[in-house]
Amino acid sequence: MISAPEVTQMDIIARLIEQLTTEDELVRIQAGEFLIQMGSAAVRPLIEALQNPRYSARPLIAAILGQIGDKRAVEPLIHALKDHDKLVRYHAALALGKLKDRRAIKPLIYALFDEMPPIGPDPLTGDLMTVRAAAAQALGELRAREAVLALKVLLTDEIRSVRRGAIQALGQIGTEEAIKVLSEAVWQEQDEALLEQMVRFIARSASTQTAEILQRISQSHPNEKTRQLAQVYLKELEPHPKPQLT
């Protein structure tokens, strides 16, 4: 009697990677979750799939590599930032933010100026997804001080999600230079939600100029809600008297 060939772990991984290309969304999601659970064992086959231009699920592969978090994926994901497929570039940028490896900082700064049009709306937020916004998000997660001046340029981008990503990144970086950039941009932004985001990052920063910046905003900003929010944060900064012992 001839026994059936033994199914190895690599056979299972190959089958799961193949399932990422199916049109059945549930099968794709489950395959991705299983690959993430496989962890480091799945990294090499996933990288090979990412580097195969004929493989249709490469954006999902990039996302899975970011979730696994193995540093072997850093260089292949950096290379993917220059891929012809903007969806691959988008997910590669987000994955590099999750991997938090400083080798990615310079390539991500270049990706801030990716000129391709938006991929489409985010299914959760409705914001337009762009490589620029994804790169900004990743640089924020990396706390990349080197990126402050490049992020400053994105604060005038016509796409809201790009400006939001730049604001988020500058707030996460949180240096004096980053907060100064936000304090200047708060006078040009028109979107109330983004203004609120800016003021919140300024108020929660460790900058020595926080109170002074908030004071100016509370007195002179043209948007009433922004002035009121700055006033709220100013009150929070006021020292509270210590209760006297009886």
Q: Does the pLDDT at position 5 exceed 80?
A: no
Predicted confidence band at 135 (pLDDT cuts at 50, 70, 90)? very high
Q: Does the pLDDT at position 48 exceed 60?
A: yes
Predicted confidence band at 117 (pLDDT cuts at 50, 70, 90)? confident
Q: What are the C-alpha distances in Å from 207 to residues 101, 201, 211, 226?
A: 26, 10, 9, 19
Euclidean distance between CA atoms 201 and 150, whole angstroms? 18
Euclidean distance between CA atoms 60 and 236, whole angstroms? 44
Q: How far apart are the first and last CA of the chain?
A: 92
Which of 9-18, 89-98, 99-108 has the lowest average pLDDT?
9-18
Percent of the chain, pLDDT > 90?
Answer: 82
Euclidean distance between CA atoms 101 and 88, whole angstroms? 19
pLDDT, tens digit, 9 for 90 and up, residues 170-190: 999 999 999 999 999 999 999
Mean pLDDT of the chain: 92
Predicted confidence band at 246 (pLDDT cuts at 50, 70, 90)? low
Q: Which residues, in sequence order, are bridge partners of residue 108?
A: none
Q: Please give the pLDDT value at position 227.
A: 96
111 contacts 135 by C-beta, under 8 angstroms? yes
Q: Does the pLDDT at position 206 exceed 90?
A: no
Backbone angles phi, psi at 83, to 5 degrees: -65, 155
Q: Please give the pLDDT value at position 240.
A: 58
The letter for the amino acid at 212 is E
pTM for the full predicted model? 0.89
Q: Please give the pLDDT value at position 163.
A: 97
Euclidean distance between CA atoms 45 and 52, whole angstroms? 11
Q: What is the 3-class SS of 123-168, one letter each residue?
A: CCCCCEECHHHHHHHHHHHCCCHHHHHHHHHHCCCCCHHHHHHHHH
Q: What are the C-alpha distances in Å from 134 to residues 86, 139, 156, 185?
A: 11, 9, 16, 20
Average pLDDT score over residue span 143-163: 96
Euclidean distance between CA atoms 246 and 18, whole angstroms? 74
Q: Does the pLDDT at position 242 exceed 70?
A: no
pLDDT, tens digit, 9 for 90 and up, residues 59-83: 999 999 999 999 999 999 999 999 9
Euclidean distance between CA atoms 241 and 246, whole angstroms? 15
Q: Which residues, in sequence order, are bridge partners of residue 128?
A: 121
Q: Please give the pLDDT value at position 156.
A: 96
